[in-house]
């Protein structure tokens, strides 16, 4: 997975996917990217939740990457 591909798929979903900002997976993606970039404060509830679900930001990104690919797949090859 490349970071630019990840951002590109999120961009495609933001333009094509209904209720992009209310989807839990995409909100989770925002939090994981913040965790990956060390932008979450240490006392953040989002950080505590992510640490309880995933071992590291890398494993969280990999799991999320698979989910986003499944969601964006139909929008990549529109006839």
- One digit per residue, the tens of pLDDT, for the chain of length 79 reads 577 777 777 777 777 776 665 567 778 888 998 998 999 898 989 999 999 999 999 999 888 888 877 777 777 776 6
44 within some domain: yes
Number of domains in the chain: 1
Overall pTM > 0.75: no
Least Cα distance to 76 among 32, 3, 17 occurs for 17
53 within some domain: yes
42 within some domain: yes
Show the domain range for 66.
24-74
39 within some domain: yes
Contact partners, residue 71, CB within 8 Å, separation at least 6? 13, 17, 25
């Amino acid at each position: 997975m490349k970071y630019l591909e990840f951002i590109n798929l999120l961009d495609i979903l933001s333009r094509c996917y209904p209720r992009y900002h209310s989807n839990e997976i995409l909100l989770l993606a925002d939090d994981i990217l913040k965790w990956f970039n060390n932008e979450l404060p240490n006392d953040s509830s989002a950080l505590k939740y992510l640490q309880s679900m995933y071992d590291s930001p890398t494993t969280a990104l990999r799991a999320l990457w698979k989910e986003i690919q499944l969601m964006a797949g139909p929008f990549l090859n529109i006839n």
